[in-house]
């Protein structure tokens, strides 16, 4: 980074211009740049490291629970995609097409995958023969392309995005539902235990499900600007894909049965939610769980103290590293400590150690937390043990702030004016009784661009008991005697209205 970059620092305000602020943080913290083609970004090493941290966690949990990784081609023959279009009402993604190979026009156009159901399902059909082949679980880490013309927003709105897509087949409906909620659990765990972001867990209203799905479940994260981010979705596809692609098996009695399938995906939008949730007007703020460097050591010296301060700092760095802490000792000569503080604040290092002649003499270390600047002095002898407490404390500060924001921003409304007024004034989620009719959502959408981001999850009690998460934030509501807040007909669900990314 040059001096000029730092003089500018972050110039936009998170509170007053969140969109410009976000774009500035992403670029100045070195996460991403804009590509020459609209709708595409270049993910820089510091940004890609965040994706790798997400991958490491999810991939480990997937493998612990029976998932194998595989890889399918990025191109899908048009006839395959058409097959999905024929059977799945509403499946009409904006697709990029390959029409030429070298100098020759292709006999059949190839779609750049917008999602891979239509090329994976035919292979599942070949691989599944008997009940002994089930459950079949494959996942792929890849990118997909959806040619939607919107303004580029790194990690939130891009034509190509990184994600994982899991695809499974099961012998029973219950097995497929358990799979659907298990993956939703893992997405929730990623947000809450790794990214420091509490989520609401629910399902999409019927009119907003993944085309062909029985149920689309979702985790929703509230951003500080009051909008909801769909953080990951897990679809119970029932038998629609298995019927269309002939995924059948012979059961114990040699009877031919149709399988049940699921698919589930989480994209780099999680990086966007991470950046937006925790960062501030000084720059990026990261939880220690995913930060490429968790601790930076900044030495403070005059010529006559340089040697002892640097030696003391280097020893601490070596000790931390031996403890598995990701530490950086910033011993650059040409930069003063203030410059270094600003730079590492901008780049989101969670904990800073300051070491000067006083620390050396008193055998201490000054420890500063990135999110709130809290500063404490620790004994040198305790530092390798205490550093983990500091990293945990930083995580808790970030999680607690996000949880408090979520708690304060779920409000209730009982009529149309109240829905509009509450979202208009506060943002966040507004819970309202709803009849289930899409027209009632359209009325709200037309006026303030808020939609129903979820309704509570209709989990059966067995799935709920098996779940690691109780879903306590979204209890199953009782609609006895309640009327739809929009049209006044009998309510069937509790709708969570919010503006959405």
Judged by the rule CB under 5 A, the positions of this chain that interact with Zn ion are 435, 437, 440, 484, 486-487
Tell me the H-state helices in 136-254: 173-189, 240-245
106: Cβ contacts below 8 Å, ≥ 6 apart: 98, 99, 100
Compute the least distance from the CB of residue 419 to Zn ion, in Å: 11
Nearest-approach distance from CB 446 to Zn ion, in angstroms: 14
Taking the complex as a whole, the smallest distance from the CB of residue 489 to Zn ion amounts, in Å, to 5
Please say which residue, 8 or 442, places its beta carbon nearer to Zn ion: 442
DSSP collapsed to 3 states, 271-298: HHHHHHHHCECCECCCCCCCCCCCEEEE
Which among 156, 382, 342, 176 is positioned nearest to 262, based on CA atoms?
176
Phi then psi dihedrals of residue 134, to 5 deg: -110, 150
Q: Which is nearer to Zn ion, 410 or 487 (CB)?
A: 487
Work out the widest C-alpha separation in the chain, in whole angstroms. Answer: 86
Q: Rounded to the nearest whole angstrom, what is the least distance from the CB of residue 443 to Zn ion in the complex?
A: 9
Extract the runs of DSSP E, i.e. beta strands, from 208-334: 215-222, 228-236, 248-250, 256-258, 260-267, 295-299, 327-329
CB of 438 to Zn ion, least distance (A): 9
Could you give the residue ranges of the DSSP H alpha helices within 364-460?
Answer: 383-408, 416-426, 438-448
From the list 260, 236, 263, the residue with the least C-alpha distance to 134 is 260
Shorter beta-carbon distance to Zn ion: residue 213 or 491: 491
By beta-carbon proximity to Zn ion, the closer residue of 119 and 491 is 491
In the bound complex, what is the minimum distance in angstroms from residue 490's beta carbon to Zn ion? 9
CA distance 29 to 44: 10
Between 435 and 453, CB nearer to Zn ion:
435
Residue 165 DSSP SS3: strand
Least distance (Å) between residue 424 CB and Zn ion: 20
Smallest gap from Cβ 488 to Zn ion, in A, equals 7
Contact 309, 300 (CB under 8 A): yes
CA terminus-to-terminus distance, the chain: 31
Nearer Cβ to Zn ion, position 274 or 440?
Answer: 440
Least distance CB 434 / Zn ion (angstroms):
6
Answer for the pair 294, 350: CB distance below 8 angstroms, yes or no.
Answer: yes
Annotate 342-382 with DSSP letters as a single string. HHHHHHT-SEEEEE-HHHHHHTEEEEEETTT--EEEEEGGG
Put residue 420 in one of left, alpha, beta given phi > 0 → left and psi -120 to 50 → alpha.
Answer: alpha
Please, which residues have CB within 8 angstroms of residue 308's CB and are 6 or more apart in sequence? 357, 360
C-beta of 94 vs 489, nearer to Zn ion: 489
Backbone φ and ψ of 44, nearest 5°: -80, 165
The residue among 52 and 437 lying less far from Zn ion, judged by its C-beta, is 437
> Residue 433 Cβ, how far from Zn ion at the closest point, in Å?
9
Nearer to Zn ion, 88 or 486 (CB): 486
- Of the two residues 162 and 444, which places its CB atom closer to Zn ion in the complex? 444
Joined together, the tokens standing for residue 479 give: 């609609």
């Amino acid at each position: 980074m040059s001096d000029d970059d730092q003089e500018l620092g972050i110039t936009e305000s998170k509170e007053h211009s969140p969109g410009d602020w976000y774009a500035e943080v992403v670029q100045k913290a070195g996460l991403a740049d804009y590509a020459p083609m609209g709708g595409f970004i270049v993910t820089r090493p510091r940004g890609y490291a965040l994706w790798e941290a997400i991958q490491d966690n999810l991939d480990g949990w997937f493998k612990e629970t029976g998932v194998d990784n595989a890889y399918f081609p990025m191109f899908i023959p048009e006839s395959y995609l058409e097959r999905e279009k024929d059977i799945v009402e509403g499946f009409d993604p904006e697709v990029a097409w390959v029409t030429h190979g070298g100098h020759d026009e292709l006999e059949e156009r190839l779609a750049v995958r917008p999602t891979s159901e239509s090329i994976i399902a035919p292979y599942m059909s070949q691989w599944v023969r008997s009940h002994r082949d089930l459950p079949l679980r494959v996942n792929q880490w890849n990118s997909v392309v959806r040619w939607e013309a919107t303004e580029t927003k790194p990690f939130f709105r891009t034509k190509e995005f990184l994600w994982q897509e899991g695809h499974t087949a099961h012998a029973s409906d219950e097995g497929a539902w358990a799979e659907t909620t298990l993956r939703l659990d893992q997405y929730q765990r990623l947000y809450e235990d790794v990214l420091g972001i509490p989520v609401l867990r629910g399902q999409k209203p019927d009119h907003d499900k993944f085309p062909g799905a029985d149920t689309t479940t979702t985790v929703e994260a509230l951003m500080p600007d009051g909008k909801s981010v769909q953080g990951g979705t897990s679809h119970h596809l029932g038998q629609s894909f298995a019927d269309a692609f002939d995924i059948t098996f012979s059961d114990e009695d040699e009877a031919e049965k149709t399988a049940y399938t699921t698919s589930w995906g989480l994209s780099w939008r999680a990086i966007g939610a991470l950046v937006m949730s925790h960062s501030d007007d000084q720059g990026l703020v990261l939880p220690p769980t995913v930060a490429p460097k968790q601790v930076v050591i900044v030495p403070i010296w005059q010529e006559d103290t340089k040697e002892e301060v640097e030696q003391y700092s280097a020893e601490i760095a070596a000790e931390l590293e031996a403890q598995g802490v990701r530490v950086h000792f910033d011993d650059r000569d040409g930069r003063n400590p203030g410059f270094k503080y600003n730079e590492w604040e901008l780049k989101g290092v969670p904990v800073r150690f300051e070491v000067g002649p006083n620390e050396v003499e008193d055998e201490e270390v000054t420890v500063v937390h990135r999110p709130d600047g809290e500063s404490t002095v620790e004994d040198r002898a305790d530092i390798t043990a205490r550093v983990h407490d500091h990293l945990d404390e930083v995580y808790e500060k970030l999680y607690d702030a996000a949880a408090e924001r979520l708690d304060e921003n779920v409000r209730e409304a009982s009529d149309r004016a109240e829905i509009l007024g509450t979202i208009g004034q506060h943002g966040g989620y507004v819970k309202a009784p709803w009849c289930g009719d899409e027209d009632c959502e359209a009325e709200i959408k037309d006026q303030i661009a808020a939609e129903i981001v979820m309704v509570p999850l209709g989990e059966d009690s067995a799935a709920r008991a098996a779940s690691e998460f109780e879903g306590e934030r979204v209890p199953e509501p009782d609609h006895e005697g309640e009327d739809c807040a929009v049209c006044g007909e009998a309510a069937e669900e509790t709708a969570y209205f919010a503006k959405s990314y």
